[in-house]
Amino acid sequence: MGNWVVNHGLSALILVVWMGINIFIFVYFYLFYDLGPQFFYTRHLLGPALAWARAPAAVLNFNCLLILLPVCRNLLSFIRGSCACFRRSMRKQLDKNLSFHKLVAYMIGLMTAVHTIAHLLNLEWLNNSRQGDYDNLSTELSEIGDHSNETFLNPIRSPSMTPSYVAFTTIAGITGVIITLSLILIITSSMEVIRRSYYEVFWYTHHLFIIFFAGLVFHGAGRIVRSQTKDSMYEHNVTYCKDRPLDWGKIQECPMPQFAGGAPGTWMWVLGPMVLYVFERILRLYRSLQKVILRKTVIHPSNVLELQMQKKNFSMEVGQYVFLNCPSISQLEWHPFTMTSAPEEDFFSVHIRSMGDWTRDLISKVKWILKGEKGEFHAHGEIAVDGPFGTASEDVFDYEVSMLVGCGIGVTPFASILKSIWYKFKESNQKLRTKKIYFYWLCRETHAFEWFADLLHSLEGEMEERGMLNFLSYKLFLTGWDHSHAAHVMVHFDKDTDVVTGLKQKTHYGRPNWEKEFEDIRNAHPTSTVGVFLCGPQALGKTLESCCARYSDVDPRKARFYFNKENF
C-alpha cells in the first residue's frame, strides 16, 4: 500500500481534485437551475431538462478551460524549470500532460452528449408549448412576447416553426451543431489506431479545435435561456399567479412577467487559456524562425540519418526532444525527435529513422544532396527547430543507482543520457550523484541501431582506459532470435566479444527476467534509491511498475525503486 502511495499518490490526488471540482460544479448549477425561483416559469416549459442542460454546460466551461493548458509545451517547460526546488514527484506529474488532456477530452465528449440530448428535449417541448399542446400556463407563457412591451420566454416565436428550423436559425443552434460536428471529427481522428499510424490526419483534423473554440465563445450569444427579471419577480407573485395564467395583465397582482436571457459566460472561462495558447503558438513560431546551422549529416547503416545542428541560444538537457520542420517537404508539419547528443557537446543531434512519409522524404532528400556534392553539406535554413522540451530524463542524475531500459527506438533518449553521464563522470561533476548504471537494451533486431552499438563500443573503450568498467553495466536482449541466430552464436561461443554487436558484453536472447534483475540490483545496493527509466511499450511499463512496487521497501533507509516513463 505504501508503495502505491509513493508511486501514484500525487496523480490520484490530482484526479480526485479534478473530479471533485467537476461534481461540485455539476451539482451546484443543477440546483441553481432546478430550484432557482427565477426559473420557475422556464422550468414549467422545460421540466428537469433545463437543469440537465445547464449543469453539463457549466462542467463543459470548466473542462474547455483545462483542455488547452496541458498542450502548452513551453508553459510546462517553464513551470518545470521554476519548480526545480520542488519534489521530484511533483515535477513528474507534468509528464502526464497528454493523459490529462485525453481525460479532459473524454469528459468534454460525455458532457456534450448530455447537454445536446437535454437541449434536444428542450427544443421539442418548447415547440410543443408554442403550438399549444400543453396546459394553459404553457400556452400563455409561450405567447408572451407576441405583443409589444413584452419580453419573451419561449425562444420559439412562431407556432409554425419546427425544432430543426429553430436549431439552424438561432445562434446557439447553429454554433452548437458546428462545434459538436468538429468535436466528433476531432475525436474519431484521435483514436489510437489513426493517431499512431497516420499522424498527419490526426494533427490536421485536430486543428478543428479553432472552430470549436470560436463557436463555443459565441454559443451563448443568443441568450435563449430565459429567466424572470428581478423587478418582475418583485411585482409578479409567482405562487399566486401561476394558477391564473389567463388573468395576467388584467389583475393587479399579476402583471405580465418580464424575462431576460442569461449573459454568455463561456468567454470568461476560456479566454485566458486561449490567450495562453496563442502565445504558445507564437513562441513556437518565433523559435522556429531562428537560424539553424546544419553542422554535419551522416547516413548510418540501415537508413538512419543523423543530423548535427547548432542554433544560437540553444541549451538543452538530457533526454529532451525537439520538433523539426522542413519547409521544402511540408510547410506545416512538425515532428518530434529525441535528441541524442549530450548537453556538454557544442552541437545537438538527432537520429532519424525512416518511419513514415516525412522521414522517408527527408532521408531521401539528404541522400540525394549527398550524392550530388561528395561529403557533407551545409545547407542553412533548410531545417527549422522548435524546442527543446523537457521530459523525465532530467532526473536521471539524482539517483544513486539508475536502471535504464530502452526498447527498440526508445533507446534514443538514453544515447543522450549515457553520453552526458560519461562526460560528467570524466569531469567529476558535482551534480552527478549517480554511482552505478544498469542499462538494458531490448530490441527485436539490431538492424537500425548499429549507431547505438557504436556509441556503447566507444564508451566501453573509454571506460576500459580509465579502469572504470564497473560504472556502467549493460545488457542487450535480442527478442527476435531464431534458430539461425542460435546456431551462429553457438559456433562463436568462445570469442571474447559478442558476435552480433562486437561489444564485450554478450548479447542475451529473449526477454529479461525482471524479477531476477530487480532482485540482483536490490541485493547489490541494499540501501540506495534506484531510479528506473523506461522508454518503450506500455506493457513493459506495467511490468516494470509492478516490479518497482514489489521490490521497494517502505522503509526509506532500504532499497526503493522509483519508476519513470517517457512517452511520445
Alpha helices in 323-478 (DSSP H): 357-372, 412-427, 450-465
Among 117, 221, 463, 549, interactor with another protein by CB under 8 A? 117
Among 164, 237, 328, 473, interactor with another protein by CB under 8 A? 164
- The closest of 505, 485, 488, 487 to 496, measured between CA atoms, is 505
By CB under 8 A, is residue 161 in contact with another protein? Answer: no
Dihedral of CA atoms 429, 318, 389, 321 in degrees, nearest 10, equals: 160
By CB under 8 A, is residue 116 in contact with another protein? Answer: yes
Among 95, 200, 398, 445, interactor with another protein by CB under 8 A? 200
CB of 186 to another protein, least distance (A): 11
> Which of 195, 475 has the CB closer to another protein?
195
Dihedral of CA atoms 34, 38, 42, 44 in degrees, nearest 10, equals: 70
Q: For another protein, which stretch binds (CB under 8 A), given 190-198, 252-260, 305-313, 491-499?
A: 190-198
> Which of 97, 116 has the CB closer to another protein?
116
By CB under 8 A, is residue 113 in contact with another protein? Answer: yes
Say if CB 329 and CB 362 are below 8 A apart.
yes
By CB under 8 A, is residue 171 in contact with another protein? Answer: no
Q: For another protein, which stretch binds (CB under 8 A), given 180-188, 213-221, 312-320, 401-409?
A: 180-188
489-528 positions binding another protein, by CB under 8 A: none
CB of 68 to another protein, least distance (A): 23
212/426 Cα distance (integer angstroms): 53
Q: For another protein, which stretch binds (CB under 8 A), given 15-23, 158-166, 243-251, 414-422?
A: 158-166
> Which of 121, 530 has the CB closer to another protein?
121
> How many other CB atoms are found less than 10 A from the CB of residue 408?
18
- Secondary element (H or E) of residue 287: helix 266-289
Q: For another protein, which stretch binds (CB under 8 A), given 119-127, 144-152, 206-214, 385-393?
A: 119-127
Among 74, 93, 97, 189, interactor with another protein by CB under 8 A? 189
CB of 198 to another protein, least distance (A): 4
Residue type, 470: N
Find the largest Cα–Cα distance for the chain: 109
CB of 484 to another protein, least distance (A): 8
CB of 160 to another protein, least distance (A): 13
> Which of 306, 357 has the CB closer to another protein?
357
115/110 Cα distance (integer angstroms): 9
432/47 Cα distance (integer angstroms): 66
Residue 292 is placed in which grid cell? 539553424
Say if CB 294 and CB 379 are below 8 A apart.
yes
Q: For another protein, which stretch binds (CB under 8 A), given 95-103, 123-131, 152-160, 536-544?
A: 123-131
Q: Residues in contact with another protein, total (CB under 8 A)?
A: 32
CB of 492 to another protein, least distance (A): 18
Residue 547 is placed in which grid cell? 516490479
By CB under 8 A, is residue 121 in contact with another protein? Answer: yes
∠ CA 527-528-529 to the nearest 5 degrees?
Answer: 135
DSSP structure string for 494-557: T-SS-TTT--SSPEEES---HHHHHHHHHHH-TT-EEEEEEES-HHHHHHHHHHHHHH--SSTT
97/225 Cα distance (integer angstroms): 35
Q: Partners of 530 in the beta sheet?
A: 401, 561
Among 21, 79, 105, 120, interactor with another protein by CB under 8 A? 120
Q: Cα–Cα distances in Å, from 76 out to 80, 82, 83, 428?
A: 6, 10, 10, 31
369/303 Cα distance (integer angstroms): 15
Q: Partners of 351 in the beta sheet?
A: 306
> Which of 38, 122 has the CB closer to another protein?
122
503 contact partners, CB below 8 Å, separation of at least 6: 453, 456, 457, 460, 476, 497
Say if CB 441 and CB 476 are below 8 A apart.
yes
> Which of 60, 530 has the CB closer to another protein?
60
Q: For another protein, which stretch binds (CB under 8 A), given 30-38, 181-189, 244-252, 377-385?
A: 181-189
Q: What is the DSSP letter of 432?
A: -
Residue type, 78: F
Alpha helices in 321-401 (DSSP H): 357-372
CB of 191 to another protein, least distance (A): 5
Among 9, 20, 272, 356, interactor with another protein by CB under 8 A? 356
Site mask for another protein (CB under 8 A), range 439-478, x = bound: ----------------------------------------
Dihedral of CA atoms 14, 15, 18, 24 in degrees, nearest 10, equals: -120
- The closest of 318, 305, 481 to 404, measured between CA atoms, is 318
470/525 Cα distance (integer angstroms): 14
By CB under 8 A, is residue 198 in contact with another protein? Answer: yes
Q: For another protein, which stretch binds (CB under 8 A), given 7-15, 194-202, 206-214, 442-450?
A: 194-202
> Which of 166, 316 has the CB closer to another protein?
166
> Which of 120, 503 has the CB closer to another protein?
120
Among 110, 181, 211, 409, interactor with another protein by CB under 8 A? 181
Residue appearing with cell numbers 413584452: 150
By CB under 8 A, is residue 124 in contact with another protein? Answer: yes
Residue appearing with cell numbers 570524466: 426
> Which of 271, 486 has the CB closer to another protein?
486
By CB under 8 A, is residue 185 in contact with another protein? Answer: yes
> Which of 360, 525 has the CB closer to another protein?
360
Q: Name the site residues for another protein (rule: CB under 8 A).
A: 113, 116-117, 120-121, 123-124, 127-128, 162-164, 167, 177, 180-181, 184-185, 187-189, 191, 193-194, 197-198, 200-201, 356-357, 483-484
